[in-house]
Each structure stands twice: as C-alpha cells, then as structure tokens.
Amino acid sequence: MKLVCSIAPVLVNISRGVHGSVAARRIRAEMCKELKTKVLRLLPPTSNGPTVHRDETDGAEILSYTVKALKEGHIVAVPTDTIYGLACLAQNSDAVRKTYDTKGRNGQKPLAICVGEIQDIYKYCKVKVKKELLGDLLPGPVTLVFERSEELNTDLNPFTSLVGVRIPDHPFMRQLCQMCGEPLALTSANISSQTSTVEVHEFQELWPKLAVVVDGGPIGDQSRLGSTVVDLSVLGKYRIIRPGCALSSTVDVLKHKYGLSEHSGEE
C-alpha cells in the first residue's frame, strides 16, 4: 500500500483546547506551542490509485517526521489495526517515563513493545512456542506475552520479567518499526482508565504533549476493545489476560491447531 499524507496546519489553544464537532473535523495538522506538534493525515489509495491533491505528499514524509520525533525522544500517536496508540522508543528510558506522565498511567502497569517483523521478537523475548504459531497470529490484533530477554531496556516494566509484544496488521506501523530499527513502547492513546480511541479527535487533549499525531482515519468501533492479550510464557500453555477483539480466533489457533492448554496463571 502506498501511503499518502495531507498536511494542513491549524493553531491550538493549549489552555482551553479545541472543542466542538466542527473544530474537530477541521483539524488535520496543528502546531503546539511547546512541541510544535504535527498532525499528519494518512490517506488510503482509491480503487484507481492514490488520491492526489495539491497539498499531499508521499507517506514516506510522514514516516520521516515520525521516526525523527521518536529518535529525539518524543512521544507520538499512531494508528494500529485496533485502536490509536502512543509510542516511544522502548530503549529510551526518559521517553518511557514521559509516556507514563502523558497518560497519567500507573507506573506499575506495563507497556507493550511493538516490532516490525516476527524475527525481531526473538531478540527481545524468550519464545517458547513454534515460529509457525507466531506467523498464524501476527501481524494481527493480538499481544503475545513472553519472558523478556536481556536485550530489552531494564527501565521498561522493571517490576516484571514478562513483556507483551505486538506486530499490528498495519503497513504504517510495520514500516515505522523497521525504520526505527528498534522496538517501540506502545500503549493506548487515552488518559489512563478512560475509553480507548479509534479517531484522533477522541484524544485531542493529549495533542499538546505529543510531537507527532498520525491520523489514519476512523479505525472502527468494533476494534475499541483493543488487542487480545495472551500469556505464552509457560511452555505448552496459554492464559488470556485480556479478551480484546480477537479472542475466538486466537483461542482457536492456540488450542485447536497447536494443542496448547489454558492455565490460570496461579501455577
């Protein structure tokens, strides 16, 4: 898929925010006083090829903006195959702390990591399942939890030996991870404990704290449950941590195709 972006700047009043449906529809890119936040819109190709307008540029420009912001230690908002997420470089301890602060998230709640390819999982996780199983579930709306490896930043989730890993079925996200060359720390784009978001205007109050917001358009309410989270850290077993939006298909793969048995996590 060729990604196309539309960039149109608009000022945001940080102290009051921008309210109302008309204002929300008008916003495509904004410059924040503190971070000079860019909101960049991804436009999908039409049946006759990419939609072309005068103010559009190739999606590579969006990737470039986003990678640059991440490498500088900033937080960005990105679309996934389920909900919108906040991302930073997982190996950057300061950026990880800023992500918690941005959401107001409890420091004892873990962040997942996001990688671009299945082989990347083996660098940061101790995998106890067949590679074919990974290929059946990823890329997709599933977070797989494994024991973490020594390669992963010790400041990321220091309270647990486990880490969740995602490969979203979203071309922008996979390219972003590949261009960064290291894992992203990923969490939902919302104030902690509030509803997950499937459109960028739903987390507009966070924009002033972000360097880049990538607008991939509406994702769909059916995905608002987020990814299905499953613990695969125990050999031959699985444990559902969060049902998410792909529970049935995930269990079917784990239980019926690969013969894993469910465990309670109390063993």
Find the mean pLDDT for residues 49-70: 69
- Of 59, 42, 44, 188, nearest in space to 114 by CA: 188
Q: How far is the C-alpha of 43 from the C-alpha of 58, rounded, in Å?
A: 10
In the beta sheet, which residues pair with residue 230? 144, 240
Q: How many CB atoms neighbour CB 240 within 10 A? A: 16
The pair phi, psi for residue 135, each rounded to 5°, is -65, -25
Task: Please report the pLDDT score of residue 13 as a whole number.
Answer: 32
Domains and CATH numbers, the chain: 4-262 (3.90.870.10)
- Of 264, 213, 192, nearest in space to 234 by CA: 264
Share of the chain above pLDDT 70, in %: 80
Helix, strand, coil percentages, rounded to 5, for the chain: 30, 25, 45
Q: Which of 12-21, 57-66, 71-80, 252-261 shows the lowest per-residue confidence on average (mean pLDDT)?
A: 12-21
Find the mean pLDDT for residues 128-137: 98
| Cα 113 versus chain centre, distance | 8
Predicted model pTM: 0.83
* 19 confidence band (pLDDT: 50, 70, 90): very low
Tokens (6 digits) for 49: 């090829």
Q: How far is the C-alpha of 137 from the C-alpha of 58, rounded, in Å?
A: 30
CB 174 within 8 A of CB 139: yes
Helix (H, G, I), strand (E, B) or coil at 241: strand
Q: How many CA atoms lie less than 13 Å away from 203 in the CB half-sphere?
A: 32
Q: How far is CA 91 from CA 69, 155, 205, in A?
A: 15, 8, 26
Asked whether the predicted pLDDT for residue 135 surpasses 70, the reply is yes
Q: Rounded to a whole number, what is the largest CA-CA distance in the chain?
A: 60
Q: How far is the C-alpha of 25 from the C-alpha of 217, rounded, in Å?
A: 11
Taking only the tens place, the pLDDT of each residue in 21-48 is 444 344 444 444 456 788 999 876 443 4
**Which conformational region is residue 174 in: left (phi greater than 0), alpha (psi within -120 to 50 degrees), or beta?**
alpha
Q: How far is the C-alpha of 107 from the C-alpha of 118, rounded, in Å?
A: 28
Taking only the tens place, the pLDDT of each residue in 187-210 is 999 999 999 999 999 999 999 999
- Of 150, 110, 144, 111, nearest in space to 127 by CA: 144
